Amino acid sequence: MSDTLLSVENLRTVFHTDKETIRAVDGVSFDVQRGETVGLVGESGSGKSVTARSVLGLVEEPGVIEEGSIQFRGDELVGGNWDEHRGDIAIVFQDPMNSLNPVYTVGNQIKEALRIHQDLRGQEATDAAIELLEDVGIPDAARRVSEYPHQFSGGMRQRAVIAIALACDPDLLVCDEPTTALDVTIQAQILELLDDLQREENLGVLFITHDMGVIEETTDRVNVMYAGEFVESAPVDELFDNPRHPYTRGLLASIPGRTAGDERLPTIEGEVPTSTSGPTSCRFAPRCPHAFDDCEQVHPERIDVGDGTVDHEAACLLYDDRFEESAPEEKFADDGGERA
């Protein structure tokens, strides 16, 4: 029984600059079901945030969605239908101070959203705003509602931002690194809150972060993004227990502190490239420890790499039977990248 909220098909978002056209998001597809949390993980510059902004129709000049489809409950959004679904999709950004207006009280900002999306005004709106602040765990909400953002601590500001997002009564919540600017104790509070809200409201959540630990804890399904493409997608446990793509393996291995000891951290050399033309090779090949000649010639398609019981896809020639080199397990055996 699935209830698909969001369905993204072959999305390509590009930025036209004087010199070249940058393909920030290059052919990604994914679904978000009601009550499900889908994770998007990758390094800076991999295209995570542009994907989020594309979904909300917030891509600004010189960026443009060049190809693909984004459907919300079956309605096509690309082409300008966002206004109809304005209140159905809400976003929480990384830095709460940038998301709040410093010259209005927190209550006013929640009430603004309530007025626009739920047509509540006056005392009714104030009561609803207080209730929302209580829902997001701000103590003494009745008093706090008339305070300004600078009177809130970092964690409380992010709670206020979440309250504003909830004021639209959304079905889908997009979280773009919502806890990156916060301390680990506050991060734990916010993640717990998002988890509770999701369960209560049966929200679909698209969760973007670069932190593998946060991904492991919050999401049901994970997409690993690299240079505008999804290189691997799997249910969260499967991805962590059985990472297939060399990039995913590299990312997991380079997290410090997961294993005790003094040994050197395995690293991925080089930087995320900027894609300016259509894919003709594997974009990770220049940094890949297992690349072979064909990787420079052929763009890998996403293929099923699961054991038949799980939905696990990776875009890597190592798993493609057409190529002689494909015998990944042997290669990985001697690189010691296996997670302890």
Task: Catalog residues that contact another protein under the rule CB under 8 A.
Answer: 43-44, 134, 139-143, 147, 151, 153-156, 183-189, 191-192, 210-214, 216-217, 250-251, 254-258, 260, 264-269, 271
Structure tokens given for 326? 């494909």
Q: Going by DSSP bridges, is the β-strand pair 37-41/221-226 parallel, antiparallel, or unpaired?
A: parallel
Q: Which is nearer to another protein, 65 or 272 (CB)?
A: 272
Q: Going by DSSP bridges, is the β-strand pair 4-16/172-176 parallel, antiparallel, or unpaired?
A: unpaired
Q: Which is nearer to another protein, 2 or 185 (CB)?
A: 185
Contact 67, 11 (CB under 8 A): yes
Query: d(Cα 252, Cα 327) in Å, to the nearest integer?
Result: 21
Q: Which is nearer to another protein, 60 or 269 (CB)?
A: 269
Q: How far is the CB of 44 from another protein (least distance, A)?
A: 5
Q: How far is the CB of 194 from another protein (least distance, A)?
A: 12
Q: How far is the CB of 154 from another protein (least distance, A)?
A: 8
Q: Which is nearer to another protein, 103 or 184 (CB)?
A: 184
Q: How far is the CB of 177 from another protein (least distance, A)?
A: 12
Query: d(Cα 163, Cα 175) in Å, to the nearest integer?
Result: 13
Q: Which is nearer to another protein, 78 or 285 (CB)?
A: 285
Report long-range pairs for 150-153 (Cβ below 8 Å, ≥24 apart). Answer: 150/102, 152/106
Q: How far is the CB of 240 from another protein (least distance, A)?
A: 9
Structure tokens given for 158? 């992010």
Contact 70, 77 (CB under 8 A): yes
